[in-house]
Amino acid sequence: MKMNKAIAALVSGAVAVSGMAVSAFALDTPVVAKLGFTDSTWEHQDWETSVEVTGDGTYTLTSTTVAGAADFGVFVIDFDQMFANYPDAVATLDKIEVDGSEISVSADKILYGDIEEKGNFRIDVYNMYSDTKDNPGVNQATAVSESLSVTFTVSGLEAAAPAETEAAPAETEAAPAETTASAETTTAPATGNASAAAIVAVMAVAGAAAVISKKRG
């Protein structure tokens, strides 16, 4: 009986564990953050440097292609279709480094959102064709000798795209195990009881025979 209870408890635990949901976050539509940069003469450009955004977190884009730029003409980061697919998600600028050193940024002057109304979320650092031209958040005359790095943080993606849930179907398979275990543990004591019953039966028959013999005598 104790064996039955122990096995039943183990099987019950296995069923409970196997029925737990396994969660793994994944974006339905990938998001790529891409640098858009040119100096004011359009001599030094980079429209290709990018990083894949896999979820909420902090990312950095680094470009050496713009080395030699005398200033900023267009300096933006576009998140491809992030506004269209994940309207609650946002990206905020953390810092900008030029040639390995952080430069000053007036955070309240950086523009964010679907600025071009193309479904892309944009961080507009400086753009000679946007409102940041007359109200820049950085020194537009900053020259780039070797590299340009932009660090930003993305949030709201995981809330907008819930994690997929997969339930392990092991519960159905675990059920027969309890039945088998019960059958096995029940069989062992039954064999012993059968032997004892046989002995008692023989003794009863012998006793009955003795009584009959006594009456006949």
Position 205 pLDDT exceeds 90: no
Condensed to tens digits (0 to 9), the pLDDT of residues 73-100 reads 999 999 999 999 999 999 999 999 999 9
Nearest to 131 by CA among 148, 145, 116, 118: 116
% of the chain residues with pLDDT over 70: 62
Strand partners, 140: none
Tokens of 153: 């943080």
The mean pLDDT value of the chain amounts to 77
CA 157 to CA 91: how far, in whole Å? 10
pLDDT (average), residues 187-199? 44
Among 5-14, 96-105, 185-194, which range has the highest average pLDDT? 96-105
pLDDT (average), residues 96-106? 98
At 25 the pLDDT is 59
